[in-house]
A = this chain, B = another copy of it.
Amino acid sequence: MKKSVAIVGATGYTGAELIKILLNHPNFEIKTLFSSKGGEKIEEIYPAFKGVFEKEIKKAEIAEITAHDLVFLAVPHKTAMDFVIELMNEDIKIVDFSADYRLIQENYEEFYVKHTDSKNLSKAVYGLPEYFREDIKTTKLLANPGCYPTATLLGLLPFKKYIEGAVFVDAKSGVSGAGKKLNETTQYVTINENMFAYNPIHHRHSIEIKEKSGLDVNFVPHLLPITRGMMISIYANLKEDIDPLEILKEKYKNEPFIRIKDKPVDIKSVAGTNFCDIFAMKNGNSLFVNTAIDNLLRGASTQAVVNANIMMGYKETTGIPNIAYIP
Protein backbone atom coordinates (compact mmCIF):
# COMPACT_ATOMS: atom_id res chain seq x y z
CA MET A 1 0.00 0.00 0.00
CA LYS A 2 1.20 3.48 -0.81
CA LYS A 3 2.35 5.74 2.01
CA SER A 4 0.18 8.81 2.43
CA VAL A 5 1.96 12.11 2.02
CA ALA A 6 1.19 15.67 3.07
CA ILE A 7 2.90 18.67 1.50
CA VAL A 8 2.93 21.82 3.58
CA GLY A 9 3.85 24.78 1.40
CA ALA A 10 2.50 23.34 -1.82
CA THR A 11 2.25 26.63 -3.67
CA GLY A 12 5.97 27.47 -3.92
CA TYR A 13 8.26 26.25 -6.68
CA THR A 14 9.71 23.41 -4.61
CA GLY A 15 6.19 22.39 -3.59
CA ALA A 16 5.16 22.22 -7.23
CA GLU A 17 8.24 20.15 -8.08
CA LEU A 18 7.46 17.79 -5.22
CA ILE A 19 3.97 17.23 -6.61
CA LYS A 20 5.40 16.51 -10.05
CA ILE A 21 7.76 13.86 -8.67
CA LEU A 22 5.29 12.22 -6.33
CA LEU A 23 2.65 11.90 -9.06
CA ASN A 24 4.95 9.42 -10.78
CA HIS A 25 6.21 7.72 -7.62
CA PRO A 26 5.02 4.12 -7.10
CA ASN A 27 5.13 4.16 -3.28
CA PHE A 28 3.89 7.58 -2.24
CA GLU A 29 0.46 9.12 -2.65
CA ILE A 30 -0.15 12.83 -2.19
CA LYS A 31 -3.14 12.83 0.13
CA THR A 32 -3.28 16.47 1.19
CA LEU A 33 -1.82 19.80 0.13
CA PHE A 34 -1.47 22.54 2.71
CA SER A 35 -0.45 26.17 2.64
CA SER A 36 -0.34 28.91 5.22
CA LYS A 37 -3.63 30.44 4.18
CA GLY A 38 -5.36 27.59 2.33
CA GLY A 39 -8.44 27.94 0.13
CA GLU A 40 -6.65 27.87 -3.21
CA LYS A 41 -6.53 25.17 -5.86
CA ILE A 42 -3.19 23.90 -7.08
CA GLU A 43 -4.38 23.95 -10.73
CA GLU A 44 -5.20 27.63 -10.44
CA ILE A 45 -1.77 28.53 -9.11
CA TYR A 46 -0.05 26.30 -11.67
CA PRO A 47 -2.38 25.96 -14.69
CA ALA A 48 -0.06 23.24 -15.98
CA PHE A 49 -1.70 20.88 -13.45
CA LYS A 50 -5.14 21.41 -15.03
CA GLY A 51 -6.50 18.02 -16.09
CA VAL A 52 -3.50 16.29 -14.54
CA PHE A 53 -3.71 16.88 -10.83
CA GLU A 54 -6.45 19.09 -9.47
CA LYS A 55 -6.70 19.51 -5.74
CA GLU A 56 -7.74 21.99 -3.12
CA ILE A 57 -5.09 23.34 -0.80
CA LYS A 58 -6.06 23.38 2.85
CA LYS A 59 -4.97 25.69 5.60
CA ALA A 60 -2.17 23.88 7.46
CA GLU A 61 -3.31 22.45 10.81
CA ILE A 62 -1.24 20.08 12.93
CA ALA A 63 -4.19 17.79 13.57
CA GLU A 64 -4.73 17.21 9.88
CA ILE A 65 -1.06 16.85 9.03
CA THR A 66 -0.60 14.04 11.53
CA ALA A 67 -3.06 11.87 9.62
CA HIS A 68 -0.31 11.12 7.07
CA ASP A 69 2.69 8.78 7.08
CA LEU A 70 5.07 11.45 5.87
CA VAL A 71 5.10 15.21 5.63
CA PHE A 72 7.24 17.47 3.47
CA LEU A 73 7.61 20.92 4.99
CA ALA A 74 8.34 23.26 2.07
CA VAL A 75 7.97 26.38 4.20
CA PRO A 76 10.32 29.20 5.27
CA HIS A 77 12.70 28.89 8.24
CA LYS A 78 11.09 29.61 11.61
CA THR A 79 7.70 28.48 10.26
CA ALA A 80 9.17 24.99 9.88
CA MET A 81 10.29 24.94 13.50
CA ASP A 82 6.77 25.75 14.67
CA PHE A 83 5.44 22.69 12.85
CA VAL A 84 8.25 20.33 13.78
CA ILE A 85 8.05 20.99 17.51
CA GLU A 86 4.48 19.69 17.42
CA LEU A 87 4.88 16.94 14.87
CA MET A 88 7.80 15.30 16.70
CA ASN A 89 5.32 14.03 19.27
CA GLU A 90 3.25 12.31 16.62
CA ASP A 91 3.64 9.20 14.49
CA ILE A 92 4.79 10.85 11.30
CA LYS A 93 8.09 11.21 9.46
CA ILE A 94 9.25 14.68 8.57
CA VAL A 95 11.32 16.03 5.68
CA ASP A 96 12.04 19.70 6.32
CA PHE A 97 13.17 21.93 3.41
CA SER A 98 14.07 24.88 5.64
CA ALA A 99 17.33 25.74 7.37
CA ASP A 100 15.85 25.15 10.84
CA TYR A 101 17.46 21.77 11.56
CA ARG A 102 20.53 21.91 9.32
CA LEU A 103 22.95 23.76 11.59
CA ILE A 104 24.25 23.63 15.13
CA GLN A 105 22.36 26.08 17.29
CA GLU A 106 25.13 28.65 17.51
CA ASN A 107 25.56 28.86 13.76
CA TYR A 108 21.84 28.90 13.16
CA GLU A 109 21.23 31.75 15.54
CA GLU A 110 24.03 33.83 14.08
CA PHE A 111 22.51 33.78 10.61
CA TYR A 112 18.81 33.24 11.21
CA VAL A 113 16.70 33.72 14.38
CA LYS A 114 16.61 32.33 17.89
CA HIS A 115 16.13 28.56 17.80
CA THR A 116 13.05 27.50 19.76
CA ASP A 117 13.37 23.74 19.39
CA SER A 118 16.87 22.86 20.45
CA LYS A 119 15.66 19.52 21.81
CA ASN A 120 14.85 18.22 18.35
CA LEU A 121 17.77 19.95 16.67
CA SER A 122 20.11 17.21 17.83
CA LYS A 123 17.78 14.52 16.50
CA ALA A 124 17.74 15.84 12.95
CA VAL A 125 19.87 14.25 10.23
CA TYR A 126 21.39 16.33 7.42
CA GLY A 127 20.04 14.86 4.23
CA LEU A 128 23.02 14.61 1.92
CA PRO A 129 22.64 10.91 1.10
CA GLU A 130 26.19 10.39 -0.17
CA TYR A 131 27.53 11.33 3.26
CA PHE A 132 24.81 10.56 5.80
CA ARG A 133 22.95 7.60 4.28
CA GLU A 134 23.10 5.40 7.37
CA ASP A 135 21.73 8.06 9.67
CA ILE A 136 18.99 8.96 7.21
CA LYS A 137 17.69 5.37 7.31
CA THR A 138 16.57 5.67 10.89
CA THR A 139 15.74 9.30 11.43
CA LYS A 140 12.29 10.69 12.03
CA LEU A 141 13.40 14.25 11.20
CA LEU A 142 15.33 14.98 8.04
CA ALA A 143 16.89 18.37 7.38
CA ASN A 144 17.00 18.66 3.61
CA PRO A 145 20.14 20.60 2.54
CA GLY A 146 20.07 23.95 0.77
CA CYS A 147 20.70 24.08 -2.97
CA TYR A 148 24.00 25.97 -2.76
CA PRO A 149 25.38 23.72 0.02
CA THR A 150 24.36 20.56 -1.87
CA ALA A 151 26.11 21.59 -5.08
CA THR A 152 29.15 22.89 -3.20
CA LEU A 153 29.63 20.11 -0.66
CA LEU A 154 29.35 17.32 -3.23
CA GLY A 155 32.27 18.90 -5.08
CA LEU A 156 34.25 20.05 -2.08
CA LEU A 157 34.08 17.23 0.48
CA PRO A 158 36.11 14.69 -1.52
CA PHE A 159 39.04 17.14 -1.47
CA LYS A 160 38.69 18.28 2.12
CA LYS A 161 41.82 16.63 3.43
CA TYR A 162 44.00 17.80 0.51
CA ILE A 163 43.13 21.50 0.75
CA GLU A 164 45.04 24.14 2.66
CA GLY A 165 44.04 27.74 3.25
CA ALA A 166 41.01 29.58 2.04
CA VAL A 167 38.50 28.07 -0.37
CA PHE A 168 36.69 30.27 -2.90
CA VAL A 169 33.26 29.25 -4.14
CA ASP A 170 31.87 31.10 -7.16
CA ALA A 171 28.21 30.03 -7.32
CA LYS A 172 25.63 30.80 -10.01
CA SER A 173 21.92 30.13 -9.63
CA GLY A 174 18.89 30.35 -11.90
CA VAL A 175 16.18 32.80 -10.88
CA SER A 176 13.78 30.15 -9.55
CA GLY A 177 16.18 29.82 -6.61
CA ALA A 178 14.93 33.17 -5.34
CA GLY A 179 11.42 31.77 -4.90
CA LYS A 180 8.00 32.86 -6.07
CA LYS A 181 7.65 36.03 -4.00
CA LEU A 182 7.62 39.23 -6.08
CA ASN A 183 10.73 41.35 -5.84
CA GLU A 184 12.60 43.71 -8.09
CA THR A 185 15.64 41.45 -8.43
CA THR A 186 13.59 38.71 -10.02
CA GLN A 187 11.71 40.94 -12.48
CA TYR A 188 12.40 39.95 -16.07
CA VAL A 189 13.79 43.34 -17.06
CA THR A 190 16.22 43.32 -14.12
CA ILE A 191 17.88 39.98 -14.72
CA ASN A 192 17.44 39.34 -18.46
CA GLU A 193 20.72 40.03 -20.33
CA ASN A 194 22.31 40.61 -16.95
CA MET A 195 24.16 38.86 -14.14
CA PHE A 196 25.29 39.95 -10.70
CA ALA A 197 26.60 38.71 -7.38
CA TYR A 198 24.52 39.22 -4.23
CA ASN A 199 25.36 38.94 -0.55
CA PRO A 200 28.97 38.03 -1.37
CA ILE A 201 30.81 36.24 1.46
CA HIS A 202 27.95 36.84 3.90
CA HIS A 203 25.15 34.80 2.28
CA ARG A 204 23.33 32.54 4.75
CA HIS A 205 24.25 29.41 2.88
CA SER A 206 27.93 30.07 3.54
CA ILE A 207 27.62 28.96 7.16
CA GLU A 208 26.01 25.68 6.07
CA ILE A 209 28.93 25.00 3.75
CA LYS A 210 31.49 25.97 6.39
CA GLU A 211 29.91 23.90 9.15
CA LYS A 212 29.56 20.77 7.03
CA SER A 213 33.00 21.04 5.41
CA GLY A 214 35.02 22.43 8.29
CA LEU A 215 36.88 24.55 5.73
CA ASP A 216 37.51 28.29 5.50
CA VAL A 217 35.05 29.00 2.70
CA ASN A 218 34.45 32.30 0.88
CA PHE A 219 31.11 31.91 -0.83
CA VAL A 220 29.97 34.32 -3.57
CA PRO A 221 26.54 33.61 -5.10
CA HIS A 222 25.39 35.12 -8.41
CA LEU A 223 22.03 35.28 -10.12
CA LEU A 224 21.94 33.98 -13.71
CA PRO A 225 19.42 34.79 -16.46
CA ILE A 226 18.01 31.26 -16.60
CA THR A 227 14.98 29.80 -14.86
CA ARG A 228 16.42 26.66 -13.30
CA GLY A 229 19.82 25.15 -12.62
CA MET A 230 22.93 25.96 -10.66
CA MET A 231 26.66 25.87 -11.34
CA ILE A 232 29.42 25.93 -8.74
CA SER A 233 33.09 26.62 -9.34
CA ILE A 234 35.36 25.88 -6.39
CA TYR A 235 38.91 27.21 -6.26
CA ALA A 236 41.43 26.13 -3.62
CA ASN A 237 45.08 25.38 -2.97
CA LEU A 238 46.23 21.79 -2.63
CA LYS A 239 48.82 20.63 -0.11
CA GLU A 240 49.36 17.28 -1.83
CA ASP A 241 49.95 16.09 -5.35
CA ILE A 242 46.68 14.39 -6.23
CA ASP A 243 44.75 13.40 -9.34
CA PRO A 244 41.44 15.22 -8.81
CA LEU A 245 39.39 13.17 -11.26
CA GLU A 246 40.62 9.90 -9.78
CA ILE A 247 39.66 11.01 -6.31
CA LEU A 248 36.16 11.87 -7.49
CA LYS A 249 35.76 8.61 -9.38
CA GLU A 250 36.88 6.55 -6.40
CA LYS A 251 34.79 8.48 -3.89
CA TYR A 252 31.57 8.32 -5.86
CA LYS A 253 32.01 5.04 -7.73
CA ASN A 254 28.80 3.50 -6.37
CA GLU A 255 26.65 6.60 -6.24
CA PRO A 256 23.59 6.53 -8.52
CA PHE A 257 23.12 10.30 -8.66
CA ILE A 258 26.70 11.51 -9.14
CA ARG A 259 28.29 11.63 -12.55
CA ILE A 260 32.01 12.38 -12.87
CA LYS A 261 32.71 14.24 -16.10
CA ASP A 262 36.03 14.52 -17.88
CA LYS A 263 35.31 18.06 -19.03
CA PRO A 264 33.51 21.05 -17.47
CA VAL A 265 29.89 20.39 -16.58
CA ASP A 266 26.86 22.18 -18.01
CA ILE A 267 23.53 23.06 -16.46
CA LYS A 268 21.17 21.62 -19.07
CA SER A 269 22.53 18.10 -18.71
CA VAL A 270 21.23 18.01 -15.12
CA ALA A 271 18.11 20.23 -15.37
CA GLY A 272 15.05 18.11 -14.64
CA THR A 273 17.03 15.44 -12.74
CA ASN A 274 18.55 14.58 -9.36
CA PHE A 275 22.06 14.29 -10.81
CA CYS A 276 25.02 16.22 -9.55
CA ASP A 277 27.60 16.33 -12.34
CA ILE A 278 31.17 17.00 -11.21
CA PHE A 279 34.43 17.83 -12.99
CA ALA A 280 37.79 18.65 -11.43
CA MET A 281 41.30 19.52 -12.56
CA LYS A 282 44.41 21.08 -11.11
CA ASN A 283 47.15 23.42 -12.25
CA GLY A 284 50.17 22.93 -10.07
CA ASN A 285 48.77 23.27 -6.56
CA SER A 286 45.65 25.09 -7.73
CA LEU A 287 42.45 23.06 -7.69
CA PHE A 288 39.34 23.77 -9.77
CA VAL A 289 36.17 21.79 -9.05
CA ASN A 290 33.06 22.36 -11.12
CA THR A 291 29.58 21.03 -10.29
CA ALA A 292 26.06 21.43 -11.67
CA ILE A 293 22.65 20.54 -10.26
CA ASP A 294 19.02 21.42 -10.79
CA ASN A 295 18.50 23.88 -7.93
CA LEU A 296 14.82 22.96 -7.50
CA LEU A 297 15.39 19.20 -7.70
CA ARG A 298 18.75 18.02 -6.41
CA GLY A 299 18.82 21.32 -4.54
CA ALA A 300 15.42 20.67 -2.97
CA SER A 301 12.59 18.41 -4.14
CA THR A 302 14.17 15.30 -5.67
CA GLN A 303 16.79 15.20 -2.91
CA ALA A 304 13.88 15.34 -0.44
CA VAL A 305 12.21 12.36 -2.10
CA VAL A 306 15.48 10.43 -2.23
CA ASN A 307 15.76 11.06 1.50
CA ALA A 308 12.15 9.97 2.00
CA ASN A 309 12.88 6.79 0.02
CA ILE A 310 15.77 6.01 2.37
CA MET A 311 13.75 6.85 5.48
CA MET A 312 10.96 4.53 4.35
CA GLY A 313 13.28 1.69 3.36
CA TYR A 314 12.62 1.99 -0.37
CA LYS A 315 15.25 1.78 -3.05
CA GLU A 316 16.95 5.17 -3.17
CA THR A 317 16.32 5.74 -6.86
CA THR A 318 12.59 4.89 -6.78
CA GLY A 319 10.57 7.45 -8.68
CA ILE A 320 13.46 9.89 -9.10
CA PRO A 321 13.74 11.56 -12.55
CA ASN A 322 17.06 11.06 -14.30
CA ILE A 323 16.31 12.31 -17.81
CA ALA A 324 17.23 15.93 -18.38
CA TYR A 325 15.18 18.74 -19.93
CA ILE A 326 17.37 18.79 -23.05
CA PRO A 327 17.52 20.03 -25.71
Q: What is A's interface to B at a CB cutoff of 8 Å?
A: 13, 16, 20, 23-24, 46-48, 50-52, 165-166, 168, 170, 172, 175-176, 180, 182-184, 186-198, 200-201, 216, 218, 220, 222, 224-229, 231, 233, 235, 237, 259, 261, 264-273, 275, 281, 283-286, 288, 290, 296, 322-327
Contact = CB atoms under 8 A, between A and B. Distances in A.
19 contacts: A20-B323, A23-B323, A47-B269, A48-B323, A50-B269, A51-B322, A166-B284, A172-B172, A188-B192, A192-B192, A192-B226, A193-B193, A193-B268, A196-B267, A197-B233, A218-B235, A222-B233, A224-B224, A228-B327
B281 A200 contact: yes
Given A183-B182, A327-B176, A288 B48 contact: no
A235 B235 contact: yes
A52 B201 contact: no
A110 to B, nearest CB: 15
Identify which of A46, A166, A182, A267 gathers the most chain B CB atoms within 10 Å of its CB.
A166
Identify which of A51, A194, A198, A235 gathers the most chain B CB atoms within 10 Å of its CB.
A194
A174 to B, nearest CB: 8
Given A47-B269, A266-B195, A281-B200, A322 B52 contact: yes
Contacts of A200: 264, 281, 288, 290
A310 to B, nearest CB: 20
Contacts of A170: 170, 233, 235
A265 B46 CA distance: 13
A218 B186 contact: no
A189 B175 contact: yes
B168 A286 contact: yes
Given A46-B327, A166-B284, A235-B235, 6 more contacts: A168-B286, A176-B327, A195-B267, A196-B266, A201-B286, A225-B226
A235 B288 CA distance: 12
Given A13-B327, A200-B264, A233-B220, A225 B188 contact: yes
Contact of A327 (B220, B227, B272, B283): B227
Contact of A195 (B183, B189, B218, B231): B231
Contact of A182 (B51, B182, B266): B182
Given A182-B182, A187-B187, A266-B47, A323 B52 contact: yes
